[in-house]
Chains A and B, each alone.
Chain A
Amino acid sequence: DVKVTQSSRYLVKRTGEKVFLECVQDMDHENMFWYRQDPGLGLRLIYFSYDVKMKEKGDIPEGYSVSREKKERFSLILESASTNQTSMYLCASSFPTGSGNTIYFGEGSWLTVV
């Protein structure tokens, strides 16, 4: 079975804190993604990585950074959390771009910034 694991399901952080969201996949996928999901706005891509140490900005990268030191792990970093970053965050992974390559998601991380 494919497995994408997000380290934290529920987090509550204070404004200004540095927040790490971790994601690990066991499928040897090259591509990894971070999305955020908000009511009325749907899913939006934050960052994307297609290889170790490689990253590209998605649609809404402001206020976020990422790290991919190992192929299986993709971390999302909120350098200084703000209340407008309260959201549900979804990590995903897949084999390289190809219309038939399914993207698999983790269970999601619910982040509340107070």
Chain B
Amino acid sequence: AQKITQTQPGMFVQEKEAVTLDCTYDTSDPSYGLFWYKQPSSGEMIFLIYQGSYDQQNATEGRYSLNFQKARKSANLVISASQLGDSAMYFCAMRDSGNTGKLIFGQGTTLQVKP
């Protein structure tokens, strides 16, 4: 069965510093996709970044980058130059390879950016 594990319930980072949010996954499928979402306190789930299992390079989107280590089955999110607006819950997710194509989510990490 596919599974996503986020071991950090909460993280603090100083404004303007970089932070890494951990994510490990488990799947027996050779083809899979990994996603990171941000959920502010208002509730909406905002797509941040995507990494495909066959992608040769780590994905980047502005201040977000994904440190993809396939052999270790890890897909950590790196946020550079943290801003106060980055304070939110962050979810790592994997797209299910079955019929539904649903997302399987980790438990999330709450990030607080300190001024």
Q: Give chain A's interface residues, CB within 8 Å of chain B.
A: 31, 33, 42-43, 45, 48, 50, 56, 58, 88, 90, 92, 94, 96-108, 110
Interface centre among B53, B97, B102 (most CB of A within 10 A): B102
- Give bound CA distance, A86 to B32, whole Å: 33
Question: In the complex, what residue of chain A is closest to B44 when comparing beta carbons?
Answer: A107
Q: Which residues of B contact A104 (CB under 8 A)?
A: 47
Interface readout for B96-108 with A: 1 if CB under 8 Å, 0 if not? Answer: 0101111101111
CB within 8 A of A108: which of B45, B91, B101, B103? B45
A99-B75 Cα distance, complex, nearest whole Å: 15
0/1 string, B19-61, CB within 8 A of A gives 1: 0000000000001110101000011111100101100000000
Are B32 and A58 in contact, CB atoms less than 8 angstroms apart? no
Instruction: Judge whether A42 and B105 touch: CB under 8 Å.
Output: yes
Q: Is the CB of B31 within 8 A of A99?
A: yes
- Consensus secondary structure, chain B interface: loop
Q: Given A90-B45, A105-B44, A56 and B50 touching (CB < 8 A)?
A: no
- 17 residue pairs of the A-B complex, CB under 8 angstroms, read A42-B108, A45-B100, A48-B100, A48-B102, A56-B100, A90-B43, A90-B45, A94-B101, A97-B95, A97-B99, A97-B100, A99-B52, A101-B95, A102-B47, A103-B95, A107-B44, A110-B43
List the B side residues contacting A97 at CB < 8 Å.
Answer: 95, 99-101
CA distance A31 to B52 in the complex (A): 20
Contacting pair B43 A99 (CB below 8 A)? no
Among A42, A88, A107, residue most surrounded by chain B Cβ atoms (within 10 Å)? A42
B44 touches A106 (CB 8 A): yes
In contact, A58 and B45 (Cβ under 8 angstroms): no
Q: How far is the CB of B93 from chain A (nearest CB, A)?
A: 8
- Cα of A109 to Cα of B106 in the assembled complex, Å: 21
Residue among B35, B42, B44 facing the most chain A CB atoms (10 A cut-off)? B44
Residues in B whose Cβ lies below 8 Å from that of A33: 102
Give the Cβ gap from A3 to chain B, nearest Cβ, in Å: 12
**A90 contacts which chain B residues (CB < 8 A)?**
43, 45
